A and B are shown apart, each in its own frame.
Chain A
Amino acid sequence: MIEKMPMPIRKVLIANRGEIAVRVAHTLRTLGLQSVVIYHASDTLSLAVREADEAIEIPAATGVAAYLDVEAILAAARRSGADSIHPGYGFLAENADFAAAVDAAGLRFIGPPPEVIRLMGDKIRARECVAQAGFPITPSATENGTASEFVERVSAIGFPVLIKAAAGGGGRGMRIVRSADALEGELEAARREAERSFKDGRVYVERYVERPRHIEVQVLSDRHGTHVHLGERECSVQRRFQKLIEETPSASLDPGERERLCETAVGIARAVGYVNAGTVEFIFAPSGGFHFLEMNTRLQVEHPVTEMVTGLDLVAEQIRVADGERLSFRQGDLPSRGHAIECRICAEDPQQGHTPTTGEVALLRPPTGPGIRFDSGLCSGQRITPAFDSMLAKLVAHGSERGQAIARMRQALRDLVLLGVDHNAAYLERVLAHPAFAAAKLHTHFLEEHREELALPQPSEAERVAVIASAALATRRATLDAPEPYAAMGPWRN
């Protein structure tokens, strides 16, 4: 599939928002390329709009609708003279029709070809393809034949099982079923939810592995058939099937397992004709052994941990690949240095089942220090609403070894000042402080298993007094026309 690239990429439209739009714009600036960001009216004052060279508003009734409006986004690309589109993650990033429409419009899609997105986006076809290529998948059943035959095949897998949407991914629409009695009801509910969420009601069922680890491998493939891996990421610390903490390297793999895992990922990338950056996700059973879970055909939220240990800029690599260049390194050339951890700072209440919170960013002071990286699209005054995902920022810490990375992350979580919306930074700090985390005894139900130890501790008397004194004195300064030194007002007075 070697073809001549018409013109090098010079101007990239970023079809996304928030931290990933800011992050992509940053690399474009570093490479001397121009950036155009699209935005919805509710994001007019966002950091992404300020960071990009140009910004084009997409009119839409809701924020999400704007970032999914293929026609308007292509029109914005044409109007701005962009020659390529970076989709970020989420929204249209894994939409094969969008990638095809970008190609058809004569623009470059910075990601894999549409047919690869389509194949890996259909979780049933993807599993079949991976299995045919000789790689391990979990025992599963798909819906064909009569309903009773399907239930029979599912029962043959052995309970518990997991129902998943064929068009799903990222944890959405998954249901654990522990007995045959509950199966039909749960299947029906899963089909309805899949139909509503993905406009595709097909589901499949696979064996549910209890207390599994979730480990994924970053792959990078050029258009000339070269495929490399950039190591693995341990993503077992999750809530509601959504990742919260990711790290690399995984503390649970020995060198032999790591090599087998990463080689498998590269083999899968080769088997599907992958191009650009992608991630192959695997499930590890506690007894050992791993199975293919799914492939994400885009840049991953947690890609910064890989960047911290390899020194690569994955967005720059994506652009080089999209430009038709060959990978500038081979597998053996890539040293991995030290250990990196990412924490997802989310607007949610860990004490209330991680339910989302809302508010307004009143004060933001990102942590700093050796090995610390803070990726966010936040700015002061920004409203945090339920309209978008709850992730506010990503905090990444790098250290020469895991212990140092954990220590740096814990301090950075304490140093992060983010006021105006309740978030999970203090909870994440308690997770990292837990002895089982230090011992790397991780699995996807880690947070539930340790729920009691991770609960918010009662404040000490000194903390309580300090907080009340701050509130009482601040209120007085805001309400009274007080003499100096009280006249020096904080920003909250505006």
Chain B
Amino acid sequence: MKQVFHVAGSRIEALLMPVSEGTDLVLGERRHRVALRALGDGEYRLEVDGVAHRVWIAARGDAIHVHASGRSWTVGVVDELAETAAAGGGAADTAEAPMPGTVVRVHVAPGEPVKRGQTLMVIESMKMETAIVAWRDGVVGAVHRPLGATFDRKAPLVSLEPEPKS
């Protein structure tokens, strides 16, 4: 079964192959003999090519969190179907939250024409204000979060009407 992961900024395809003496992890041209044994409380003994590592693993939603080599790593588990769909979509009509936070000012309403560079909304995250500005001329389609609302990273904030096809 092939799996796709995002780790440390790279997209990685991994394949686990049962072999007679255990399991192989296939990464492109490379192949490693791997084994994982649970030690309790989220701790595992991982063996890679005969070398033992002490790791901690926890899975939440579409991410697997690993503590290895003295630090934590977040591994995104990629759904290949969704990945394909997103690549074809036109996300450029919506400003997404670059970080989780709160809406502290809303400067525009749906239907309002805006110019590129105009401030649409101001958000605040941990004592830091950030302006969400229009990335092109257009008409406001929707304000997705009202004043005072909180949101997570990547939440849609303001949409512009799709540009008329010329």
Contact = CB atoms under 8 A, between A and B. Distances in A.
Given A429-B70, A470-B64, A492-B57, A196 B104 contact: yes
Contact of A470 (B1, B55, B150, B152): B55
Looking at chain B's contact residues, is the secondary structure mostly helix, strand, loop, or mixed? strand
Interface residues of B, number: 59
A242 B58 contact: no
Interface in B94-145: 98-102, 104, 125-129
A450 interface: no
7 contacts: A359-B60, A365-B43, A417-B72, A465-B32, A468-B7, A469-B46, A470-B64
B68 A467 contact: yes
B126 A348 contact: yes
A252 interface: no
Contacts of B51: 462
B85 to A, nearest CB: 21
Given A473-B34, A475-B59, 19 more contacts: A355-B99, A355-B126, A358-B152, A362-B42, A365-B43, A385-B100, A386-B150, A459-B7, A462-B51, A465-B27, A466-B46, A466-B68, A468-B12, A471-B57, A471-B77, A474-B57, A490-B38, A490-B42, A492-B59
B44 A470 contact: yes
A10 interface: no
B48 interface: yes
Contacts of A358: 100, 152-153
A418 interface: yes
Contacts, number: 189
Interface in A438-472: 456, 458-459, 462-472
Contact of B66 (A172, A390, A467): A467
B158 to A, nearest CB: 18
B37 A458 contact: no
Which 4 pairs of residues, A with B, have the shortest CB-CB distance? Answer: A414-B70, A362-B58, A419-B65, A426-B71
Interface in A186-213: 193, 196
A419 B7 contact: no
A459 B67 CA distance: 13
B73 A386 contact: no
A360 interface: yes
Contacts of A466: 46, 48, 53, 55, 68-69
A81 interface: no
Nearest to A197: B127
Nearest to B104: A196
A363 B42 contact: yes
A476 B97 CA distance: 33
B8 interface: yes
Interface of B: 1, 3, 5, 7-8, 12, 14, 16, 23, 25, 27, 30, 32, 34-38, 41-44, 46, 48, 51, 53, 55-60, 64-75, 77, 98-102, 104, 125-129, 150, 152-153
Nearest to A362: B58
A145 interface: no
A353 to B, nearest CB: 9
Contacts of B75: 467-468, 470-471
B124 to A, nearest CB: 9
Contacts of B16: 472-473, 476
Contacts of A414: 70-71
A389 interface: yes
Interface in A352-385: 352, 355-360, 362-363, 365, 385
Nearest to A346: B126
Contact of A459 (B5, B8, B99, B125): B8
A478 interface: yes
